[in-house]
Amino acid sequence: MNELNLRPTFYRPRGLSEVRSGWRAETTGDVFTHNGTGFELVVGAKLALQPGTRVRFHRSLDLHPTDYIEADERGIVSHVEAETGTVSVLLEGVHNGLGGNTLALTPHDDDEAVSALETYKPRMSLGARVQREPSETAWGIAAGLATLLVTVPLSLTLHEFMPERMPALFFIVGVAWVAVAIGKRAALVLAAVTPFVYNVLIIPPSHTLTPFTAWEWVLVATYLVSALIFPSAPRAFERLKALGARKLA
């Protein structure tokens, strides 16, 4: 025990969300339990309650005479005492009987209370995932590339009536729109493909890939900058509006 420098800790068995008391070896990070005659390694165990860990009480917990925690109440680990392994769980509900609305749990001393809780990860709704991560999916990238079905005809039409450089405007607008509406990754993919489309369809000879001109390299930089900057444009606009409102107030 001295060689391993074991300290009390809470851990989760592999594949389970329940929390148990054990001993953590400071020298190796392994988790052990005591079987009555000695310490036994828990294979695949993970530390359960660390700062920021979210927990849920799957059954009610009577803390008579100080307080009572309802089933399904949630909380978050706000602090862990290194020496004793005691964790502080900040609860969502109001608990006047607990100082700072915080429940303290110590390994091997509060196993009854610990048996009532489990760790969990908040689930995002499908709508939230689509809103936050569309550019991380194949559908998001495909949708971004699909904008070429609009920008290419417009660019070719404008190319018939305007100077050579004007059609690039539609490609730039397309990349910027994808960056705002879909996300950075989809916009970057579109920004990488667009210069070749522009070169083959707009730069003579038509339908032939030729070495990029200086103007085309300027366009490449413009596409990339648009893909990187425009995803944060709506948030920046909202911050400016909020700042203006505070100044007027």
pLDDT tens-place values along the chain, 249 residues long: 456 689 999 998 888 878 999 999 988 889 999 888 888 899 989 899 999 999 999 999 998 888 899 999 999 999 999 899 999 999 988 888 888 899 999 999 998 999 998 887 766 444 444 444 444 577 788 888 888 888 888 888 877 776 555 678 888 888 888 888 888 888 889 999 999 988 888 777 878 888 998 888 998 999 998 888 877 655 555 555 545 544 444
What domain range is 89 assigned to? 1-122
Q: What percent of the chain has pLDDT over 70?
A: 83
80 and 130 in a single domain? The answer is: no
**Whether residue 167 is found in the same domain as residue 91:** no
Please tell me the total count of domains within the chain. 2
Q: What is the pLDDT of residue 57?
A: 92
Q: Are residues 19 and 100 in the same domain?
A: yes
Same domain? 93 vs 142: no
Verify that 130 and 118 share a domain, yes or no: no
Domain boundary among 77, 102, 122: 122
**What is the per-residue pLDDT for 129?**
45
- Kindly write down the DSSP assignment for every residue of the chain, as one continuous string: -TTTTEEEEEEE-TT--B-EEEEEETTT--EEEE-SSSEEE-TT-EE---TT-EEEESS-EEETTTEEE-TT-EEEEEEE-TTT--EEEEESS--TTSGGGEEEE-TTTSHHHHTTEEE--PPPPHHHHHHHSGGGSHHHHHHHHHTHHHHHHHHHHHHTTS-TTTTHHHHHHHHHHHHHHT-HHHHHHHHHHHHHHHHHHTSSSTT---PPPHHHHHHHHHHHHHHHHGGGHHHHHHHHHHHHHHHH-
Pair (118, 13) in one structural domain:
yes
